[in-house]
Amino acid sequence: MADPERDTETLAQVRALAPEIVGVLNDLAGELASARRALAEARARLAAAERLADRDPLTGLLNRRGFARELRRAAALAGRHAQPATVLYLDLDGFKAVNDQHGHEAGDAALVHVGRLLEANLRETDAVARLGGDEFAALLALADAEAGRAKAASLERLLAATPLIAQGRRVPLRASFGVRALTAGLSPERALAEADQAMYAAKRARRSGAG
């Protein structure tokens, strides 16, 4: 049987504890919100770190790691959906002379200059990277080998026609290009290697006077 006096006493005790309970719940809510903010900030820092890990610190372009990721994605699309893509591999001709004659600051400026020209003359859907030293690569989305060769020739002319201006002096730049289309069954690593080989063949031909 219910005891009205006891129920009243219990209710009074609960009411007396209510402010304390509310305070505890508010503290927990604040701590939860703070934990969520900390988690969001940690995720943002991690994402930023991952982006930096894929970028060349000098030019801001993709580095070899970042380019390999884009290349794997394009190779998968080429294999599964026959979606064309083409790799361009380029190496600056006579880059050592730029460093020797104009200094390493001019050499770095030349790499940044080339990177900006490539970015400005490729589509947002394309990927461009500095692989290391004076070697760059581009991945042309939805482009077959013919389109890749045409783009390589266009970029080669552009680089030759757009010298670097370093300390008031014109520093001519020229590059050799290699082209390799992605095809079903061709690994991304092999595609990049064959584009590299084609670039060196073009460089040898130019040195021998055939290019």
Q: What is the DSSP-derived secondary structure letter of residue 62?
A: B
User: Over 50: is that where the pLDDT of 48 sits?
Assistant: no
Q: Which pLDDT band holds residue 206 (cuts at 50, 70, 90)?
A: confident
The tokens describing 32, both together, are 């939860």
Q: What is the DSSP-derived secondary structure letter of residue 184?
A: T
User: Over 90: is that where the pLDDT of 10 sits?
Assistant: no
More confident residue, 22 or 202: 202
Residue 49 pLDDT: 44
Q: Which pLDDT band holds residue 178 (cuts at 50, 70, 90)?
A: very high
Query: pTM for the full model?
Result: 0.76
pLDDT tens digits, one per residue of 71-117: 999 999 998 888 999 999 999 999 999 999 999 999 999 999 999 99
Phi-psi region of 191 (alpha: psi -120 to 50; beta: other; left: phi over 0): alpha
User: b/e for 46-83, b at 16 or more Cβ within 10 A?
Assistant: eeeeeeeebbbeebebbbbebbbebbeebbebbeeeee
Residue 45 pLDDT: 53
User: Over 60: is that where the pLDDT of 46 sits?
Assistant: no
Portion of the chain with pLDDT greater than 90, in percent: 66
User: b/e for 86-124, b at 16 or more Cβ within 10 A?
Assistant: bbbbbbbbebeebeeebeeebbebbbbbbbebbeebbee
Query: What 3-state class would DSSP assign to 103?
Result: coil
User: What is the rounded CA–CA span in Å between residue 150 and residue 136?
Assistant: 17
H-only helix segments in 54-103: 64-81, 95-102
